[in-house]
């Protein structure tokens, strides 16, 4: 029988596949234990000043060699004990999970019917999550029906649960493909999205084939086994095509991004970096074509962006330069108090991009009385430090006002942390602390100049002309 059917013998395929899963799982578990032993051994030897293990691990190739050796050793041991290592236990354990996954899928579909699709496709991970659930369900259904009817689950409840899950997984499978389709429509193809499209298409084809096998009644378990057999061959063929020009993800992605650029998409939403540095010859050719069109259209901004991108040594450096170029200027925007106090130009340049954007957003807001939503109070808050300090007061909306402490060094603001003091306090990190809060009305008073600078006496530790004082 085995010789006659060959690869079409589902029982042999089932046993072989699950044996491979169990053997590799056991081998990787052994590798993990070996790394744990190595780590603990290093910690133990470190207590007596011996760091030979740490020194070896720091050599670039050693972790790979060690992992390969212990993984190979684990596989060899598992192979020697193949008579004792059986996938039957794992299959039985996975079968217990099937009803749980069925309940989760039913709740998902019920909640989807109530809430609708509006909140479902907000992020790309939604597609990966749904496709992952479908693949997990396909695996569980396969374990439930076993290699043949004799090894299949036989309880009526489990059979009904297997049938129900086989039908219902078509819903998340279809939504996963639709989610990827929406994302491609928004941002175009990339190699990752090409793979996602193919992956979600495969999961949907599995789900629809399983559902059809159930709805046709009769020998539905036999039909699902045939689906698994032919789908496995189809996936192998698809993987082979991925390695050929038939499915050239870089070429498809470049064509998609060029179409988006021609359709008027902003340059920052076109995958120019990927075309320049990651998508090989198709990407470089597509970028050159886009540059030629930009030059013909006298789009100097796009031509300059492409030139900067080619010259950049890393995507992070390029994006950082783009952020710095788009960094809003705060010079002259933030009111300074007391009257007469001034800040030199570029005083905010040392602050992080996040802080600058936050201050810019606060200044764009208005207090309930119409006053500007930001102010900076400058004074020698710490006379012993020899430097000026500042308190930034920023309106965040509602009744919330953000306070930030700065010191001024070389004409630039440098954030030092929170503002400490007495008065109205709040709950911070689960503890009541002396972190004062002010209301928008009090912020308006500061903008109007209605405040005083009060010296606060402090004890200092003095020894031989040196004064010491703790500072928050």
SS3 314: coil
The reported pLDDT for the residue numbered 470 is 59
Task: Check: CB of residue 406 under 8 Å from CB of residue 413.
Answer: yes
Q: Work out whether strand 388-397 and strand 336-337 pair parallel, antiparallel, or are unpaired.
A: unpaired
Q: How confident is the model at residue 256 (pLDDT cuts 50, 70, 90)?
A: very high
Q: Identify the pLDDT of residue 430.
A: 37
Mean pLDDT of 374-379: 89
Quick one: tokens of 203?
């999961």
Distance CA 217, CA 1 (A): 27
Residue 58, preceding peptide bond in cis (omega within 30° of 0): no
Closest CA to 333 of 319, 325, 324, 343: 343
Cβ proximity of 202 and 253 under 8 Å: no
* Helix/strand/coil for 382: coil
pLDDT value of residue 4: 55
Closest by Cα among 252, 138, 120 to 177: 120
From the number of C-beta atoms within 10 Å of its C-beta (0-12, 13-18, 19+), residue 193 rates as buried
For the stretch 99-123, pLDDT in tens is: 999 999 999 888 888 877 666 665 5
Q: What's the pLDDT at 120?
A: 64
Give the DSSP H or E segment for 221.
Answer: helix 220-242
Which range among 26-40, 217-231, 284-298, 424-438 shows the weakest confidence by mean pLDDT? 424-438
Distinct helix (H) and strand (E) counts, the chain? 17, 9
With bands split at pLDDT 50, 70 and 90, how would you rate the model's confidence at 174?
A: very high
State mean pLDDT over 216-233: 90
Quote the percentage of the chain above a pLDDT of 70: 87
Please tell me the predicted confidence (pLDDT) of residue 309: 80
Q: Decide the pairing of beta strands 412-417 and 425-428.
A: unpaired
- Rg of the chain's alpha carbons, rounded to an integer? 33
Confidence of residue 397 (pLDDT cuts 50, 70, 90): confident
Token pair recorded at residue 7: 């690869």
Q: What percent of the chain has pLDDT over 90?
A: 31
DSSP string across 140-171: HHHHHH-SSTTTS---HHHHHHHHHHHHHTHH
Q: What is the mean pLDDT of residues 432-446?
A: 72
pLDDT of residue 73: 92
Give the span between the Cα atoms of 1 and 21, in whole angstroms: 25
Tell me the C-alpha to C-alpha distance, in Å, between residue 183 and each of 179, 204, 241, 266, 402.
6, 17, 24, 16, 37
Q: Are 412 and 350 in contact (CB under 8 A)?
A: yes
Q: Contact, 391 vs 402, CB < 8 A? A: no
Q: How many CB atoms are closer than 10 A to CB 386?
A: 7
Q: How far is CA 34 from CA 31, 129, 261, in A?
A: 5, 32, 51
Tokens 């070996």 — which residue? 34
Q: Is the pLDDT of residue 84 over 80?
A: no
Nearest CA to 129 out of 99, 96, 105 is that of 105
Q: What number is the average pLDDT over the span 358-379?
A: 90
Give the global pTM: 0.66
Q: What is the pLDDT, as a whole number, of residue 196?
A: 93
Element (H, E) at 349: none
* Per-residue exposure over 250-264, b if at least 16 CB sit within 10 Å of its own CB, e if not: bbbbbebbbebbeee
Average of per-residue pLDDT values in the chain: 83
The confidence score (pLDDT) of residue 328 equals 75
Q: What is the band of 427 on the pLDDT scale with cuts at 50, 70, 90?
A: very low
Q: Is the pLDDT of residue 2 over 50?
A: no
Provide the pLDDT confidence category of residue 425 given band limits of 50, 70 and 90: very low
- The C-alpha atoms of residue 207 and residue 202 are separated, in whole angstroms, by 9
Distance from C-alpha of 37 to C-alpha of 45, rounded to nearest angstrom: 12
Position 212 confidence tier, pLDDT thresholds 50, 70, 90: very high
Average pLDDT over residues 400-406: 86
Pick 234 or 13 by higher pLDDT.
234
At residue 68, the pLDDT reads 93
The encoded tokens of residue 257 equal: 């991004």
Using alpha carbons, list the distances in angstroms from residue 87 to 14, 16, 96, 146, 270.
10, 10, 15, 11, 48
128-148 tens-digit pLDDT: 889 999 999 999 999 999 888
């Amino acid at each position: 029988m085995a010789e006659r059917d060959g690869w079409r013998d589902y029982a042999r395929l089932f046993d072989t596949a699950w044996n491979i899963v169990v053997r590799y799982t056991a081998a990787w578990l052994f590798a993990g234990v070996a790394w744990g032993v190595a780590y603990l051994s290093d910690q133990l030897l470190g207590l007596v000043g011996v760091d030979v293990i740490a020194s070896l691990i720091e050599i670039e190739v050693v972790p790979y060699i060690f992992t390969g050796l212990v993984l190979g050793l684990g596989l060899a041991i598992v192979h020697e004990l193949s008579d004792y290592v059986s996938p039957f236990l794992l299959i039985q354990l996975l079968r217990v999970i099937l009803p749980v996954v069925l309940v989760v899928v039913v709740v998902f579909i019920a909640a989807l019917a109530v809430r609708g699709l509006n909140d479902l496709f907000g992020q790309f991970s939604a597609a990966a999550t749904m496709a992952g659930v479908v693949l997990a369900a396909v695996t569980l259904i396969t374990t439930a029906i076993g290699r043949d009817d004799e090894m299949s689950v036989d309880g009526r409840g489990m059979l009904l649960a297997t049938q129900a899950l086989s039908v219902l997984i078509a819903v998340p499978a279809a939504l996963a493909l639709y989610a990827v389709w929406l994302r491609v429509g928004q941002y175009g193809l990339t190699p990752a999205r090409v793979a996602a499209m193919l992956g979600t298409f495969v999961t949907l084809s599995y789900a629809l084939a399983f559902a059809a096998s159930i709805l046709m009644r009769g020998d539905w378990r036999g039909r699902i086994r045939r689906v698994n057999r032919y789908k496995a061959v189809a996936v192998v063929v698809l993987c082979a095509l991925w390695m050929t020009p038939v499915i050239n993800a870089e070429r498809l992605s470049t064509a998609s991004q060029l179409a988006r650029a021609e359709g008027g998409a902003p340059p920052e939403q076109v995958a120019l970096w990927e075309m320049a540095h990651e998508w090989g010859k198709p990407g470089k050719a597509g970028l050159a074509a886009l540059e030629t069109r930009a030059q013909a259209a006298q789009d100097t901004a796009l031509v300059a962006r492409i030139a900067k991108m080619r010259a950049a040594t890393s995507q992070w450096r390029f994006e950082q330069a783009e952020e710095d170029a788009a960094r809003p200027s705060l010079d002259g925007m933030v009111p300074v108090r007391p009257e007469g106090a001034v800040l030199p130009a570029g005083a905010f340049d040392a602050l992080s991009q996040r802080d600058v954007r936050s201050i810019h957003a606060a200044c764009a807001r208005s207090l309930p009385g119409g006053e500007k939503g930001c102010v900076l109070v400058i004074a020698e808050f710490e006379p012993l430090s020899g430097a000026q300090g500042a308190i930034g007061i920023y309106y965040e909306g509602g009744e919330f006002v953000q306070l930030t402490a700065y010191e001024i060094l070389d004409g630039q603001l440098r954030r030092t942390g929170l503002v400490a003091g007495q008065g109205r306090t709040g709950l911070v990190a689960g503890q009541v602390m002396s972190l004062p809060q002010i209301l928008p009305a009090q912020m308006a008073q500061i903008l109007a100049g209605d405040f005083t600078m009060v010296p606060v006496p402090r004890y200092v530790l003095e020894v031989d002309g040196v004064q010491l004082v703790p500072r928050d």
